Chain A
Amino acid sequence: MSVSLERGIQTLKEHIDAPVASFFTTCVHCGMCADACLFYTETKDPKYTPIYKLKPLRRLWHQEYTFWGKLAAKLGFSKPLTAEELKEWEPLVYDSCTMCGRCSMTCPVGNDIVYMIRKMREGMVAAGFAPEGLKSATERAITIGSPMGVKFPALKNQIKHVEADIGLKIPVDVRGAEYMALLSSMEIMNFPEYIGAIAKIFDQADIRWTLASDAFEATNSGIQIGSSDLAAELVERVVAAAERLKVNYVISPECGHAYTALRWEGPNLIGRPYPFKVIHILELLDQLRSQDKLPVTGKIKERLTFHDPCQIVRRGGVIEEPRRLLEMVAEDFAEMEDHGIMNWCCGGGGGVSTNERAATLKLTAFNRKRHQLEALGVNTLVTVCANCRITLEEGLEFNNMDVAVLGLAETLAEHLAEQSPAPTTTQTH
Chain B
Amino acid sequence: MTKAKTLIEHLEQQGISRRGFLKFCALTTSMMALPPSMAPGVARALETARRPSLIWLSFQECTGCTESLTRSHSPTLENIIFNYLSLDYHHTLQAASGEAAEQARETAMKENHGQYLVAVDGSIPVKDGGVYSTIAGISNLEMLQQTVEGAAAVVAIGTCAAFGGLPRAHPNPTGAVPVQELVRDKPVVNVSGCPPIPVVISGVLAHYLTFGRIPDLDDYGRPLSFFGTSIHDRCYRRPYYNKGLFAETFDDEGARKGWCLYKLGCKGPTTYNACATVKWNQGTSFPIQAGHGCFGCSEPDFWDAGGFYQPLSAGIGSVGGVAAVAVAAGAGAGIAAGLAQQSQRKHAQLQHEKVTVADLKESES
**A: which residues have CB within 8 A of B?**
1-3, 7, 10-11, 13-14, 16-17, 21, 64-65, 67, 125-126, 128-130, 132, 135-136, 138-139, 142-143, 225, 227, 229-230
Contacts and interface: CB of A to CB of B under 8 A. Distances in A.
Contact of B353 (A1, A16, A136): A1
B354 A14 contact: no
Chief secondary structure at chain A's binding surface = helix
Given A64-B344, A65-B341, A65-B344, A125 B359 contact: yes
Nearest to B358: A2
B356 interface: yes
14 contacts: A2-B359, A7-B353, A10-B352, A11-B348, A13-B344, A13-B348, A17-B345, A64-B341, A67-B337, A125-B355, A128-B363, A135-B364, A139-B361, A229-B355
A143 B360 CA distance: 12
Contact of A139 (B337, B348, B353, B357): B357
A130 B348 contact: no
B362 A3 contact: yes
B217 to A, nearest CB: 35
B351 A10 contact: yes
A128 B355 contact: no
Contact of B362 (A2, A129, A225): A2
Contacts of A125: 355, 359-360
B352 A14 contact: yes
Contacts of B357: 138-139, 142-143, 230
B359 A3 contact: yes
Given A3-B363, A128-B363, 14 more contacts: A2-B362, A3-B362, A10-B351, A13-B345, A13-B348, A14-B348, A125-B355, A125-B360, A135-B361, A135-B364, A136-B360, A138-B357, A143-B357, A230-B355
Interface string B130-146: 00000000000000000
Nearest to B350: A14
A138 B41 CA distance: 86
A7 B359 CA distance: 11
A132 B359 CA distance: 12
A16 B351 contact: no
B37 interface: no
A328 B277 CA distance: 57
Contacts of A65: 341, 344
A126 B357 CA distance: 11
Chief secondary structure at chain B's binding surface = helix
Chain B interface size band reads 20 to 34
Given A135-B364, A136-B364, A16 B355 contact: no
Contacts of A1: 353
A67 B354 CA distance: 30
Give the 9 A-B residue pairs with the shortest CB-CB distance, closest first.
A128-B363, A14-B348, A13-B348, A229-B355, A135-B360, A227-B355, A14-B349, A229-B354, A1-B353
A128 B359 contact: yes
Contacts of A13: 344-345, 348
Most chain A CB atoms below 10 A, which of B344, B353, B360: B360
Interface in B317-365: 337, 341, 344-345, 348-349, 351-357, 359-365
Contacts of B345: 13-14, 16-17
Contacts of B362: 2-3, 128
A138 B344 contact: no
Most chain A CB atoms below 10 A, which of B344, B353, B361: B353
Contacts of B351: 10, 14
Contacts of B355: 125-126, 227, 229-230
B344 A11 contact: no
Contacts of B354: 229
Contacts of A21: 341
Contacts of B337: 67
Contacts of A138: 357, 360
Contacts of A135: 360-361, 363-364
Interface string B261-273: 0000000000000
Contacts of A128: 359, 362-363
Nearest to B346: A14
Contacts of B356: 229-230
A234 to B, nearest CB: 12
A10 B359 contact: no
A4 B360 CA distance: 12
A427 B56 CA distance: 108
A7 B34 CA distance: 71
A164 B354 CA distance: 45
A338 B356 CA distance: 40
Nearest to A138: B360
A128 B361 CA distance: 9
A135 B311 CA distance: 57
A13 B345 CA distance: 6
B169 to A, nearest CB: 39
A21 B337 CA distance: 13
A338 B273 CA distance: 46
B255 to A, nearest CB: 33
A259 to B, nearest CB: 23
Contacts of A126: 353, 355, 359
